[in-house]
């Protein structure tokens, strides 16, 4: 997962328009990826398919004043945005309580662990354990994307090693490892079309 802390600056509040007009600014601030699952917009068809996320939900009366507050606006994939919806279990941002940690206060990379075995994320704190379940952060598509990312990184490392050693390689085990990494990546890529991002029942839960 490639989470990053989102830097929000009140001085960057636009002076005209409403939140829907500021999508490009918000996308850039959030590194063009979902603040919750970290999937890049390119993997969902671009900015048109992504949503403006009201961290404190605009549908909750006490947060109405934040509807067009740039510091309350983030970037989210449509799936995470729909799963979160107007859910807001706690105003207090305590990592050991059920809540949504503010992505402009915390780097989510420090709040979740990702298994290199099955590519599942797990929350380190009560808050992120809740998020993992509520936002379905181990849905099949995300597991696939994490595995693909891991294998791409491995392929790059192996390819660089082969390029560097191509005239000197005489270690059959290294050749086998190199080829197995590339074959594993290719097999994973072939599975992409078979992965359903989510089921309708999961979105409506």
What are the domain boundaries of the chain?
10-138, 142-202
pLDDT of residue 147: 87
At 153, give phi and psi (nearest 5°): -65, -45
Give the pLDDT confidence score for residue 98 in this predicted structure: 97
25 is written with which tokens?
């600014």
Helix (H, G, I), strand (E, B) or coil at 40: strand
Q: What is the pLDDT of residue 62?
A: 95
Task: Report whether 119 contacts 112 (CB < 8 A).
Answer: no
DSSP letter, residue 43: G
Q: What pLDDT does 168 receive? A: 61
pTM score of the predicted model:
0.78
φ/ψ of residue 75, rounded to 5:
-120, 130
Give the bridge partners for 52, in sequence order: 75
Find out whether 185 and 151 touch, Cβ atoms under 8 Å: yes
CB 13 within 8 A of CB 69: yes
- pLDDT value of residue 169: 58
Alpha-helical (H) ranges within the chain are 23-29, 78-84, 126-134, 140-165, 172-190, 200-203
Residue 148 CB partners (closer than 8 Å, separation 6+): 185, 188, 189, 192
Q: What size, in residues, is the chain?
A: 205
Residue 5 near residue 104 (C-beta atoms within 8 A): yes
pLDDT at 160: 72
For residue 14, what pLDDT is reported? 95
**Which residues 6+ apart lie within 8 Å of 177 measured at CB?**
158
Q: What is the pLDDT of residue 2?
A: 84
Answer whether 142's CB lies under 8 Å from 39's CB: yes
CA distance 53 to 76: 6
For the chain, list residues with pLDDT below 70: 162-172, 174-175, 189-205
What stretch of H or E contains 105? Answer: none
């Amino acid at each position: 997962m490639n989470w990053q802390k989102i830097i929000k600056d009140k001085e960057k509040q636009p002076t005209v328009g409403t939140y829907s007009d500021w999508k490009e600014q918000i996308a850039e601030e959030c590194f063009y990826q979902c603040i919750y699952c970290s999937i890049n917009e390119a993997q969902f068809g671009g900015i048109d398919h992504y949503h403006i996320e009201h961290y404190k939900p605009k549908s909750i009366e006490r947060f109405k004043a934040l509807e067009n507050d740039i510091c309350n606006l983030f970037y989210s994939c449509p799936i995470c945005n729909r799963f979160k919806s107007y859910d807001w279990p706690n105003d207090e941002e305590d990592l050991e309580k059920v809540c949504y940690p503010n992505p402009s206060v915390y780097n989510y990379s420090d709040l979740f662990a990702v298994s290199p075995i099955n590519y599942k994320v797990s929350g380190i704190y009560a808050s992120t354990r809740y998020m993992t379940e509520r936002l379905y952060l181990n849905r099949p598509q995300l597991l696939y994307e994490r595995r693909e990312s891991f294998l791409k990184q491995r392929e790059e490392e192996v390819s660089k090693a082969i390029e560097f050693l191509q005239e000197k390689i005489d270690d059959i085990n290294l050749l086998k490892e190199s080829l197995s990494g590339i074959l594993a990546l290719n097999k994973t890529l072939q599975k992409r079309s078979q992965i359903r991002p989510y089921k309708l029942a999961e979105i409506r839960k």
